[in-house]
Chain A
Amino acid sequence: MKYLVYISLIASLFLASCGNLQQDIEIDIPEYDPQLVVECYLQPGLPYFLTLTRSQPYFDDIRVDYIEDAIVTISHSGGTDTLDEFNLDITDPTLGLLADTAILNTFSSIFGDQLTFYASLRPVPELFNEDFNLEIKTLDGEVLTAKTQILNPVPIDSLVQELDEDSLAFILTYFTDEGDRTNYYRRVFEAQRPVIDSTGTEPDTTFEFRIIQDFVVDDDIFDGQPFAFGTDFEFAIGDTIRSTLYHMTQDHFEFYNTQAAAVQASLSPFGQPAVVHTNISGGRGIFTGLVFSQETYVIQPE
């Protein structure tokens, strides 16, 4: 009997030791000098919006470190716009965050009670392919500068559907690349789907667009040629789909790619470490134009 006890004990110890192949560790990282971080997307017709924060050491508690009282100007051929500081009360019921306690808790934990940003109510002018210059001066005397353009939108030529024998549709989005320079695109394809309610079900009463595809490409393989993005056979007759084509600046394209790679690299042992690209002189982040073409389509029976 005592042998059985020993054997059971050894087996239990072994099984216990086999579990839990993950454990928390302290990572010894080099000293970090926090950097100013800017995000500003110039969308013609909408107000200027800009966030100005400071990065944090990796293992500090998350708390967005807003930079207040900075002087932010954006100049272009139409003049210079100065952005004012705004403080958004995240408990403001008009934002709709109060309805969801979890979101509100998350926001207040990360952002504090208010969210600070810079904006100008004057809309961003439609000055395609012209320079916009950003300058930021902080109270501490730090100066950030950046330059970008708002590229012209590249139109979607057509949406073409194909139906298979099960009457499921495949959609091709045709457009024509401009051949005079290297172009960068972001392709977003969405389909309307029922909104999932708080119980986790789809009551089929309200609908929203959900992203099916979202990726960026350059025009290396179709330079100056008509090209089409496809989908899978997955849309039923009557489905509403929306296809969007962003025309990105090279800086935005590289920021987008390296930002995604940086996130991936910290999650996976097979990711390639990436220093996030920036066009902000003196800091991190991105200053870029944001334009797109968009077509909406309802799947038709043949």
Chain B
Amino acid sequence: MNYSYKLLHRFGSSGVPLIWKGAHAFRLFFLSCLFFGFTGFLHAQNVTLSGTVRSKTSGETIIGTTVAIPSLTKGGYTDAYGFYSITLPSSGDSIEIRYLISGYKTEARKIVLDKDIRIDVELDDISLDEVEITANSVQEELNSTQMSVSRITVAEAKKLPALFGEVDIIKTLQLKPGVSAGSEGNSGIYVRGGGADQNLILLDNTVLYNPNHLFGFFSTFNSDAVKTAEIYKGGFPSQYGGRLSSVIDVKLKEGNRRKFSGSGGLGLIASRLTLEGPIVKDKASFMISGRRTYADIITRGINNLNSDNDNFNPIPDYFFYDLNGKVNYELSDKDQLFLSGYLGRDRFQFSDDNFNFNFDWGNTNANLRWNHFFNQKFYVNTSLSYTDYEYVIANRFDEFSFEIGSKISDGAMRTDFTWLPNSKHTVRFGASGIHHRFVVGRLEASGGEQDSVFNFDAGDVYYGMEWGAYISDDIEFNDKFKLNLGLRATAFQDFTWLYNDPEPRADSTFYGFLEPRASLKYSLTNNVSIKASYARMAQYLHLVANSGTTLPTDIWYPSTRRVPPQSSQQVAAGVSIGIGENYLLTNEVYYKWLENQIDFKDGANLFVNDDLEAEFVFGRGWAYGNEFYIEKTRGKLTGWIGYSLAWSLRQFNDSIRNGETDLANVINDGEPFFARNDKRHDISVVAIYSLPRTWSYFLKNKVGWPFKKLKEITVSGAWDFRSGAAYTQAPGFFPYFGEGFLTTLTGQGNAPGNPAGPISFTPDFTNRNNARLPDYHKLDLAMTMAFKPKWGETELIISAYNAYNRRNAFFVFIDTRTNDDGVPVGFQGRLVSLFPIIPSFSWNFKF
């Protein structure tokens, strides 16, 4: 067989050519597909037990339900769509099947397994007074080949303290080991030493490019609309690709199929309302959810009150809102349609008589998914989606105006097949295509009457296609040993020429990757499993951001001829130990290699720059560490302790690539340096405690109003410690006299713009990320009182963010030190914090 790979370059760490050009490499991929396919026929015929698990109250599908057949010591789990399918040996005997998941009553069914059978199950919700907070299933963690994954439910997140009382799923994920936050209060996520742009964030299978509101202090996910969230830190399933460091998969609620219901809340900064209900009972339902902040209503009122005061400076308006919607319709027993969408906007505006400044940013996305069952062992999900992220800064001064902005918009189609040929295999395969459009650094300016004085625009538009195809097989060799093998093939074509020039260019860029994935589980005992995984990932999009925090003005940029794709390889190994039924302990070690990492030249100009690529510097990175995690999953007291010990480094030395030193493309003299998000120790301690019933009984019966309808009190706390992030601090300074200093002082004249003094002192930066911010730690506390009035349920949540009022660093800067006469005598580091202790309350309702 003659594979004529045209190599662009090799990877030093593996020596294996994995970047290729040309269609031949797809042969290897499809041969692999055939291999996986054939293995499915090597087993005797069995019977298949399948079905969907739903909530009896809402009719919504339930993800992650354990389906156990104790007599056969077999089982499975419902997938992201609430579906399960288990192949079992045929038997004429009656066997019992149990359906278990936290928050629902366990359901048991008895059947005779003599033919394929479909059992759709509805589980009763556990009512408020029976609440037993549980988290991940210990058994699921022990049995699955998947490692490096954390799941949270909204119910879990809602019990935890939140900044300004605004529940934030992303911030809850930041409390898991290996997942680190950016600066104080920031929703940016850094996973296992990766960058903020290396997270694939999916909302109902559609990419969300900017998951932040309010400059990163809140995420775009409205907790009332979200059903579950998962984060994969390694061992990535083959169906995911396009980012190097993590996959955050958020699923929206589908809507109550049984009755009209609503939920919402009032918080310190925002209010929420969610409505859901059947369109056709048990066939179709809808869910719509909205959230909006209201600080601008107050600031507008203040501005109006002071409108006659000439000395009053108006307060700028700021607000954000987001809307989530979802409709589903069951066309038949085998077909179901889902349509979901998201619209979120942040708006900052300021205006007076002559001046108007508007800064808008936000995401829009929509997804249409068709779920089709060929049979109990074979089903497919096909979706069409659109997503965009845009920011616009519009500025008007008298007759002059300018507008700058950037936008990325995608149209995508993907299809995902799941095939369960027998009890030993779960095969998944599929393909996707994404059309990207990037508007980079758009600038439009005009001025004068009818734009007569000047009128011009600038900026670049790029187009690209990203393809992916994958296959994986979860193979159960025996009760102890499971192996998941997968292969993903991806490619990216720069299509900008197609839109700008009808003739294809010879140098049109095409990149491709083969991304093997593997993970295995071996059960040493019923309660101890060891796991290992390998994953290779490729990323064709890059976020151009020149600061340590994510900002709305960060620009997504495609791979081009001069900008190669990023790639990574990660190996991880770990052990999972179930301690009794209530505790789960895991420990994982990992090592990750990162190639073609992007940074920027010193002093790079990234704002409205027509030649951004000239500012890029390419290098490599590596990260490694150990993550320890122990979780109590059941009982009145639940929670976890996580500890990660990690290192993350980067090296930008172009001479490695080209064989000669190009100083313009070297950072830190080409020597390795710690990544900004390198945080040696990260500890989180999270506890949720459901107070004994005597507390609520006492308040209800002895105190009375307002506790008449009190059902339960839960208290929670989260303590988080992170080593200080690395940042670049000049170790020295030198005087900068300027061009006119001596000529003026000596009476020799001066040139304009070069006044004599005062001289300035210029920081002498040497090494990148050579200093550390102070360690970060804080304790958040919350108390949730759940009430059950006749019309529904309510919750009053009282919380304290940063309860012991720690001054954590948002950033540090250098201030001038002066003597008693006000004369500068030196420099002093100053730390700026954002949040002191912040008490807050919010009130939630459900009917």
Q: Please report A residues at the B interface, Cβ cutoff 8 Å.
A: 14, 17-18, 21-32, 34-35, 37, 39, 41, 43, 46-47, 49, 51, 53-62, 64, 88, 94-95, 102-103, 105-107, 109-110, 115, 117, 119, 162, 164, 170, 186, 188, 190, 209, 211, 214, 220-221, 230, 232-233, 242, 244, 246, 254, 257-263, 265-277, 284-285, 290, 292, 294
User: Do B810 and A27 touch across chains, with their CB atoms under 8 A apart?
Assistant: no
Of the residues B604, B752, B765, contact of A262 by C-beta under 8 Å: B765
Contacts A29-B729, A58-B827, A284-B734 hold; do A162 and B765 have CB atoms under 8 A apart? no
Note all chain B residues with C-beta closer than 8 A to A58: 729-733, 763-764, 814, 827
B731 contacts A31, CB within 8 Å? yes
Expressed in whole angstroms, the minimum distance between the Cβ of B291 and any Cβ of chain A is 26
> Quick check: which of B109-117, B638-646, B654-662, B829-837 contacts chain A, the rest being far away?
B829-837
B546 contacts chain A at the CB level, 8 A cutoff: yes
B502 within 8 A of A: no
List 29 contacting pairs A-B, 8 Å CB cutoff, sorted by A.
A14-B839, A18-B837, A21-B836, A22-B830, A27-B771, A34-B732, A49-B746, A49-B748, A55-B764, A58-B732, A59-B826, A59-B828, A102-B821, A102-B822, A107-B757, A186-B753, A209-B752, A214-B753, A220-B610, A257-B603, A262-B730, A263-B760, A263-B763, A266-B730, A269-B547, A272-B547, A272-B600, A276-B764, A292-B751
Q: Report the separation of the CA atoms of residues A41 and B749 in the bound assembly, to the nearest whole angstrom.
A: 13
CB atoms of B762 and A259 under 8 A apart: yes
Rounded to whole Å, the gap between the CB of B440 and the closest CB of chain A is: 16
Asked whether B745 is an interface residue with its Cβ less than 8 Å from the other chain, the reply is yes
- Residue among B735, B736, B743, B828 facing the most chain A CB atoms (10 A cut-off): B735
Closest to B599 in A: A272
Residue of A nearest to B835 (CB): A21
Could you tell me if B807 and A23 are in contact, using CB atoms closer than 8 angstroms? yes
Kindly supply a per-residue 1/0 record for chain B positions 720-753, scoring 1 wherever the CB is within 8 Å of any chain A CB and 0 otherwise.
0000000011111111111101110111110111
A257 CA to B610 CA in the complex, in Å? 17
Name B823's contact: one of A109, A220, A274 (CB within 8 Å). Answer: A109
B826 pairs with A60, CB closer than 8 A? yes
Complex Cα spacing A269 to B507, Å? 39
A272 touching B400 by the CB < 8 A rule? no
- CB-CB nearest in chain B for A214: B753
Flag whether B364 is at the interface (Cβ < 8 A): no
Cβ-defined contact, A28 with B752, below 8 A: no
Q: Which residue of B lies closest to A228 (CB)?
A: B454
Which residues of B sit under 8 angstroms from A64, Cβ to Cβ? 735
Most buried by B among A102, A230, A233: A233
| CB-based closest 9 A-B pairs | A269-B811, A188-B753, A261-B603, A274-B603, A55-B734, A273-B728, A32-B731, A27-B829, A49-B742
Contact pick for B732, options A55, A263, A292, CB 8 Å: A55
A residues less than 8 Å from B821 (CB atoms): 102, 105
Give every chain A residue within 8 A of B741 (Cβ-Cβ).
51
Of all chain B residues, which has the CB nearest A47? B748
Is B31 located at the chain interface by the 8 A CB criterion?
no
Given contacts A88-B745, A272-B602, contact A259 B810 (CB under 8 A): no
Which residue in B602, B733, B827 is a CB contact (below 8 Å) of A274? B602
- Known pairs A49-B743, A263-B763; A270 contacts B832 (CB<8 A): no
Complexed CA–CA distance, A143 and B292 (Å): 65
Most buried by A among B458, B600, B734: B734
> Judging by beta carbons under 8 Å apart, are B746 and A88 in contact?
yes
Interface contact B734-A119, CB-CB below 8 Å: no
Contact, CB under 8 Å: A37 / B763: no
Whether the pair B771, A62 counts as a contact (CB closer than 8 A) is no
User: With a CB–CB cut-off of 8 A, which chain A residues contact B811?
Assistant: 269
Q: Least Cβ distance of B449 to chain A in Å?
A: 8
B825 contacts partner chain A, Cβ-Cβ < 8 Å: yes
**A62-B825, A188-B752, A242-B752 known; 4 other A-B pairs, CB under 8 Å?**
A25-B830, A211-B753, A246-B753, A271-B547
**Which residues of A are found within 8 Å of B8, using beta-carbon distances?**
none
Q: B819 touching A109 by the CB < 8 A rule?
A: yes
Query: Could you tell me the distance between the alpha carbons of A244 and B767 in the complex, rounded to whole angstroms?
Result: 37
Cβ-defined partner of A61 (8 Å) among B753, B759, B805, B825: B825
Q: From residue A277, how far is it (CB to closest CB) to chain B in Å?
A: 8
Is B834's CB under 8 angstroms from A21's CB?
Answer: yes
Residue in B454, B807, B839 whose CB lies within 8 Å of A21: B807
> Would A270 and B814 count as touching, CB distance under 8 A?
no
Contact with A along B279-323 (1 / 0, CB 8 A): 000000000000000000000000000000000000000000000
Q: How far is the CA of A232 from the CA of B447 in the complex (A)?
A: 10
Report yes or no: A35 in contact with B602, Cβ–Cβ below 8 A.
Answer: no
Is B527 interfacial (CB-CB < 8 Å)?
Answer: no
Query: Chain A CB within 10 Å — which of B730, B741, B839 has the most?
Result: B730
Find the B residue at minimum CB distance from A267.
B813
* B611:A220 contact, CB within 8 angstroms: yes
Beyond A188-B752, A211-B753, A258-B603, whether A37 also contacts B735 by CB under 8 A is: yes
Count of A-B contacts judged by CB separation below 8 Å: 236
B762 and A263 contacting across the interface, CB-CB below 8 Å: yes
Question: Known contacts A21-B807, A46-B748, A266-B813: does B731 contact A221 (CB below 8 Å)?
Answer: no
Contacts of A257 in B (CB 8 A): 603, 605
Complex CA distance for A163 and B745, rounded to whole angstroms: 39
Determine whether the beta carbon of A261 is less than 8 Å from that of B761.
no
Q: Which of B792-845 contact A (CB under 8 A)?
A: 805, 807, 810-814, 819, 821-834, 836-837, 839
Closest to A273 in B: B728
The CA of A61 and the CA of B549, in the complex, are separated in Å by 32
Q: What's the least CB distance linking B551 to chain A, in Å? A: 7
Does the CB pair A30–B734 fall under 8 Å? no
CB of B728 within 8 A of CB of A23, answer no
Answer whether A32 and B736 are a contact pair too, CB < 8 Å, given A25-B830, A265-B763, A270-B547: no
Contact partner of B749 among A46, A254, A265, CB < 8 A?
A46
Closest chain B residue to A259, Cβ basis: B762
Q: State whether A233 and B603 are in contact (beta carbons under 8 Å apart), knowing that A24-B828, A29-B731, A294-B752 are contacts in the complex.
A: no
Residues of B within 8 A of A23 (CB): 807, 830-831, 833
Q: Using a CB-CB cutoff of 8 Å, which residues 549-599 of chain B contact chain A?
A: 549, 551
| Chain B residue at smallest Cβ distance from A233 | B398
- Enumerate chain B residues within 8 angstroms of A273, measured Cβ to Cβ: 602, 728, 765, 768
Distance, CA A31 to CA B839, complexed state (A): 42
**Does the CB pair B732–A162 fall under 8 Å?**
no
Query: Which residues does chain B contribute within 8 Å of A60, judged by CB atoms?
Result: 826
**B757 → A minimal CB distance (Å):** 8
* Minimum distance in angstroms from A261 CB to a CB of chain B: 4
Q: B728–A55 contact, CB under 8 A?
A: no
Asked if B150 lies at the interface with its beta carbon under 8 angstroms from chain A, I say no
Among residues of B, the one whose C-beta sits closest to the C-beta of A61 is: B826
A258 touching B810, Cβ below 8 Å? no
CA distance in complex: A31, B766 (Å): 11
Closest to A294 in B: B752
B770 at the A/B interface (Cβ < 8 Å)?
yes
| A59 near B772: Cβ-Cβ < 8 Å | no
**Chain A residues positioned under 8 Å from B789 (CB to CB):** none
Q: Answer whether A56 and B732 are a contact pair too, CB < 8 Å, given A46-B748, A270-B547, A274-B765.
A: yes
CA–CA, A57 and B805, complex, Å: 33
The interface residues of chain A lying within 8 Å CB-to-CB of B757 are 103, 107
Residues 431-482 (chain B) with a chain A CB within 8 angstroms: 448, 453-454, 458
A164 to B400, CA, bound (A): 12
B742, closest chain A residue (CB): A49
B805 neighbours in A (Cβ, 8 Å): 17
Interface: B758 (CB within 8 A): yes
Contact assessment for A22 and B832 in the assembled complex, using a CB-CB cutoff below 8 Å: yes
Report how far A102 CA is from B583 CA in the complex, Å.
69
Cα distance A105–B820 when bound, in Å?
12
Q: How far is the CB of A28 from chain B (nearest CB, A)?
A: 7
Which B residues lie within 8 Å of A106 (CB)? 758, 823-824
- Complex: A265 Cα to B811 Cα, angstroms: 11
B76 in contact (CB, < 8 A): no
Contacts A22-B832, A266-B813; is A53 near B734 (CB within 8 Å)?
A: yes
Known A55-B764, A117-B742, A258-B602; contact A17-B731, beta-carbon cutoff 8 A: no
